[in-house]
Amino acid sequence: MALREIVTVPDQVLRRKARKVTDFGPDLQKLIDDMVDTMREAPGVGLAAPQVDVPMRVIVVEYGEEDEEPRLYTLVNPEIIRASTDHETGTEGCLSIPGYAGNVDRPLAVTIKGSNRRGQPVRIKAEGWLARIFQHEIDHLDGVLFTDRAENVWKLEEQDQTVALAD
């Protein structure tokens, strides 16, 4: 496993729609392993393949509530198939937009379908911050950045950079 460089704005790979994965072979497995290592090293709670300059529909997310062990999710070709009508505004940051945060309004709960790293179908129901992380990462697969959805964006002071939700 290896760490990959996280691309930052204005790199155009962040603005393109990622292509669907059809081959679940060794190259995909290595990409996923590298993405997990890169996300953890950053540190972040999520990472999309375009953020490591690979325009494929792959995301990794690792999150757990304060009282629980973080859970790792690896999703290939994820899509949101249901979103709650209840929304909440929360602060987001992004490893591809270092030093900035913004308030983004998102549905409180989502249902996602996709495949696991072996190509088997999965369905995930997520609420709260986990739902927000999934939405943020799936946005990356469509070339959408949190700054596109933010009500306002601000530059973080150095001591505040760990406060924002970093993907």
Summarised one tens digit per residue, pLDDT across range 19-59 is 999 999 999 999 999 999 999 999 999 999 999 999 999 99
Q: Is the pLDDT of residue 6 over 50?
A: yes
Q: From CA 92, how far away is CA 107, in angstroms rounded?
A: 14
Tell me what pLDDT residue 112 has.
98
Give SS3 for 48.
strand
Question: Is residue 5 in some structural domain?
Answer: no
Q: What percentage of the chain carries pLDDT values higher than 70?
A: 93
CA neighbor of 165 nearest in space, from 109, 90, 96, 68: 90
Tell me what pLDDT residue 50 has.
98
Question: Is residue 40 in some structural domain?
Answer: yes
Angle at 138 between CA 135 and CA 143, to 5 degrees: 120
Tell me what pLDDT residue 160 has.
55
Question: Is residue 41 in some structural domain?
Answer: yes
Sign of the torsion formed by the C-alpha atoms of 13, 59, 108 and 152: negative
Question: Is residue 134 in some structural domain?
Answer: yes
Q: Looking at residue 83, which CATH number applies to its domain? A: 3.90.45.10
Q: How confident is the model at residue 68 (pLDDT cuts 50, 70, 90)?
A: confident
Question: Is residue 166 in some structural domain?
Answer: no
In the chain, the amino acid numbered 15 is R
Total domain count, the chain = 1
Q: Is the pLDDT of residue 135 over 90?
A: yes
Q: From CA 15, how far away is CA 144, in angstroms rounded?
A: 6
Select which of 5, 62, 92, 137 is catalytic: 137
Question: Is residue 88 in some structural domain?
Answer: yes
Q: Which domain holds residue 88?
A: 12-160
- Residue 10: asked if its preceding bond is cis (omega within 30°), the reply is yes
Question: Is residue 165 in some structural domain?
Answer: no
List the structure tokens of 25.
């072979």
Q: Which residues contact 52 (CB under 8 A, 6 or more apart)?
A: 4, 5, 6, 7, 31, 34, 35, 38
Is 62 one of the catalytic residues? no
Give SS3 for 45.
coil
User: What digits encode the pLDDT tens for the residues 137-165?
Assistant: 999 999 999 999 999 999 998 655 554 45
Question: Is residue 97 in some structural domain?
Answer: yes
